[in-house]
Structure 1
């Protein structure tokens, strides 16, 4: 009975360690994603402000349309690039969060 209790305690400790590693990886990944989003928001705000200033300084309607068109193109390209980057970060987050469980699953499969 005591031998089984010791085994159960060891298994419980091992499972807790795996879970804590997984939670640590998730926390680290979410912090990186949050930092990336904050940086993108700051950059986007600065670019938007510059575009509005350029738009207001336009002397003609053609120049205003050109400034707006340039801004929309760069904003769209920047957004698509950022969404792709954040998607890759979420993919890595999922892999890193799952990684500690690989050893446990291989033990159970045996």
Structure 2
């Protein structure tokens, strides 16, 4: 026989898990957006400083050194930020799955047929 109380309880557990997952996803995307915004802000500031320094260069060797150091620091910063953002994405996926982990791993209940 169908147990409405158990079905209602299971439905509530599933809905709570879904809402918690949505909350985790929203906060994760907010963290990603903040990290990306910080990256672009810093990249713009670094580029502005580079252009100002470029205007003061008086020799080819100094220009080469300036370009090389700017390219290296830009590349290193990009790799560090990309790694950080990928870690946030991985944490986001884990957090979004966490509420559904227990119900998925739990074996389904077996309903015994009742004698007529």
Aligned alpha-carbon RMSD (Å): 1.6
Residue range with higher mean Cα deviation, 21-30 or 4-13: 4-13
Q: Does 1:41 align with 2:40?
A: yes
Distance in structure 1 (CA, Å) of the matches to 2:106 and 2:70: 55
Report what 1:57 is aligned to: 56
Offset at residue 85 of structure 1 (A): 0.9
Gaps of 5+ in 1: none
CA distance in 2, matches of 1:15, 1:96: 15
TM (norm. structure 2) is: 0.86
Secondary structure at the aligned position of 1:28 is classed as helix
Q: Over residues 61-105 of structure 1, what are the superposed CA-to-partner deviations in whole Å (9 max), with x where a residue is unaligned?
A: 221121111100100011111111111111111111111111111
Deviation >6 Å, runs of 4+: none
1:28 corresponds in structure 2 to 27
| Corresponding residue number in structure 2 for 1:103 | 102
Q: TM-score when scaled to structure 1? A: 0.90
1:109 CA drift (Å): 5.7
- Select the structure that is richer in helix: 1
Name the residue aligned to 1:72. Answer: 71
Aligned residues: 109
Gaps of 5+ in 2: 110-116
Question: How far apart are residue 108 of structure 1 and its match?
Answer: 3.3
Give, in whole Å, the separation in 1 of the partners of 2:108 and 2:9: 19
